[in-house]
């Protein structure tokens, strides 16, 4: 895994960390269990203690407490130095059992993003050359490997704009959703993207749709203003629809990409697609005072409880927490390396082994156990 600059690291002298653990719904508890195994080993190997505070969040919280983001969960998250969250949500049919505004995405996830103002969402899209066989793209397209970080603005745009539903003068039902950003919101996400880019290849792709959207016109204006502060970073402006094509045709041209909320939601799932599985998509959601870490994918209710889900995204989210919230950059790199070694030994969970018959399929907890075995064998720097 690439080494990301630690721009969120808290005071490194603080060695006792409180971590809120919210397994979520569907495959969440299974993949969280593996992530917690890794976290416990990290605690054992390093001069840190982790106080894990378990909390209900999502549909499970709604069914048990009547709210998807109950007050006691808020209290735990408020106290925590970092939050680790599993995927949430139910199948389309099951969701209908919950009132629209309490459904976990609207009732828990968006309120959490807003509560902690976690505006900077880092979504690594990473596939080293040796794992090219997992990707649906041809090896010659993957070349030396894919190594992108998508920086998605997470608390603005259509997700949080005003909404109106009603019946118009012609008697037709209508809906209106607004896409709103102010310059401060754009500027703060740009600083994240530029700092990240400065510590990597110094090429920043700015994703927009300024030929249609006024929001993108302002977005690009602010981008130009902020760019002046980072003369070493080359900015490439590119339309969002063109990016969708280029991610398939030539993903290796991208390093850091910055985009607004909705574009980031869509393109990051495409990122999972070019890797071969959304199970390879961890993420960090960073605010100025609080951060939480979650897989970029959903709760996959269709495969829940079968011990076949890929815990990579959840364990990768732990690695991102070690780096960004606790400044444990070397140990984070070890966790990434441990996972890559499991793959290069020829193992993977069902999502990826289905794509390649030379890979031996292992279960969710076998994957976790192998990662733990690899990490245990790694020297502590």
Q: Which is nearer to ligand IPM, 105 or 356 (CB)?
A: 105
Beta-ladder partners of 207: 238
User: Which residue's entry shows tokens 């390396």?
Assistant: 337
Beta-ladder partners of 150: 123, 257
| Residue 323 lies near Mg ion (rule: CB under 5 A) | no
Please identify which of the residues 17, 122, 159, 292 carries the catalytic annotation: 159
Q: Which does 105 bind (CB under 5 to 8 A by kind): ligand IPM, Mg ion, none?
A: ligand IPM
Nearest to 312 by CA among 255, 256, 270, 353: 353
Q: Which is nearer to ligand IPM, 80 or 150 (CB)?
A: 150
Q: Which is nearer to ligand IPM, 41 or 88 (CB)?
A: 88
Query: ∠ CA(262), CA(266), CA(270), 5° rounding?
Result: 160
Please identify which of the residues 37, 85, 122, 209 carries the catalytic annotation: 209
User: Footprint of ligand IPM on this chain (CB under 6 A)?
Assistant: 89, 105, 109, 265, 296, 298
Nearest to 314 by CA among 73, 69, 21, 15: 21
Is residue 232 annotated as a catalytic residue, yes or no? no
Is residue 255 annotated as a catalytic residue, yes or no? no
> Shortest approach of Mg ion to residue 230 CB, angstroms?
28
Please identify which of the residues 78, 182, 241, 345 carries the catalytic annotation: 241
Q: Which of residues 29-68 bind Mg ion (CB under 5 A)?
A: none
Is residue 324 annotated as a catalytic residue, yes or no? no
Is residue 97 annotated as a catalytic residue, yes or no? no
Q: Which of residues 97-136 bind Mg ion (CB under 5 A)?
A: none
Q: Transcribe 64-115 into DSSP letters.
A: HHSSSS-HHHHHHHHH-SEEEE------HHHHTTS-GGGSHIIIIIHHHHHH
> Shortest approach of Mg ion to residue 357 CB, angstroms?
30
| Residue 265 lies near Mg ion (rule: CB under 5 A) | yes
**CA atoms of 215 and 194, how far apart (whole Å):** 20
Residues 6+ apart with CB under 8 A from 279: 272, 295, 297, 309, 310, 311, 312, 313, 349, 351, 352
Position of minimal CB gap to ligand IPM: 105
Is residue 159 annotated as a catalytic residue, yes or no? yes
Q: Do 136 and 355 touch, CB atoms closer than 8 A?
A: yes
**CA atoms of 82 and 294, how far apart (whole Å):** 11
Q: Which does 109 bind (CB under 5 to 8 A by kind): Mg ion, ligand IPM, none?
A: ligand IPM
Q: Which does 332 bind (CB under 5 to 8 A by kind): Mg ion, ligand IPM, none?
A: none
Q: Which is nearer to ligand IPM, 152 or 209 (CB)?
A: 152
Please count the residues of this chain forming the interface with Mg ion, following the rule CB under 5 A. 1
> Shortest approach of Mg ion to residue 39 CB, angstroms?
24
Active-site residues, by number, are: 159, 209, 241, 265, 269
Binding site for Mg ion (CB under 5 A): 265
């Amino acid at each position: 895994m690439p080494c990301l600059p630690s721009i969120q690291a808290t005071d490194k002298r603080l060695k006792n960390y409180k971590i809120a653990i919210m397994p979520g719904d569907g495959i969440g508890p299974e993949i969280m269990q593996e992530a917690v195994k890794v976290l416990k080993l990290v605690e054992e190997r390093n001069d840190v203690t982790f106080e894990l505070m378990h909390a209900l969040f999502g549909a499970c919280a709604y069914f048990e407490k009547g709210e998807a983001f109950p007050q006691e969960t808020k209290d735990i998250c408020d106290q925590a130095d970092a939050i680790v969250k599993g995927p949430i949500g139910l199948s389309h049919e099951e969701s209908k059992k919950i009132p629209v505004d309490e459904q976990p995405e609207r009732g828990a996830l968006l309120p959490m993003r807003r509560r902690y103002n976690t505006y900077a969402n880092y979504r690594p899209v990473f596939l080293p050359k040796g794992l090219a066989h997992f990707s649906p793209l041809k090896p010659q397209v993957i070349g030396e490997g894919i190594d992108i970080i998508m920086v998605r603005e997470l608390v603005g745009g259509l997700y949080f704009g005003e909404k109106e539903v009603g019946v118009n003068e012609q008697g037709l039902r209508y809906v209106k959703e607004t896409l709103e950003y102010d310059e401060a919101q754009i500027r703060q996400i740009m600083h994240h993207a530029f700092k990240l880019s400065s510590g990597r290849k110094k090429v920043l792709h700015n994703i927009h749709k300024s030929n249609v959207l006024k929001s993108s016109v302002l977005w690009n204006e602010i981008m130009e203003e902020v760019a002046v502060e980072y003369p070493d970073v080359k900015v490439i402006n590119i339309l969002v629809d063109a990016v969708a094509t280029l991610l398939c045709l030539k993903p290796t041209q991208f390093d850091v990409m910055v985009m607004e909320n909705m574009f980031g939601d869509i393109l990051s799932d495409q990122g999972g697609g070019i890797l071969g599985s959304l199970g390879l998509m961890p993420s960090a959601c960073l605010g100025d005072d609080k951060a939480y870490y979650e897989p970029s994918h959903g709760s996959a209710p269709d495969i829940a409880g079968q011990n076949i889900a890929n815990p990579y995204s959840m364990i990768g989210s732990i690695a991102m927490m070690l780096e960004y919230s606790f400044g444990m950059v070397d140990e984070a790199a070890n966790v990434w390396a441990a996972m890559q070694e499991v793959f290069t030994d020829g193992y993977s969970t069902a999502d990826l082994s289905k794509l390649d018959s030379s890979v031996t399929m292992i279960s969710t907890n076998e994957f976790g156990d192998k990662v733990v075995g690899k990490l245990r064998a790694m020297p502590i720097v």
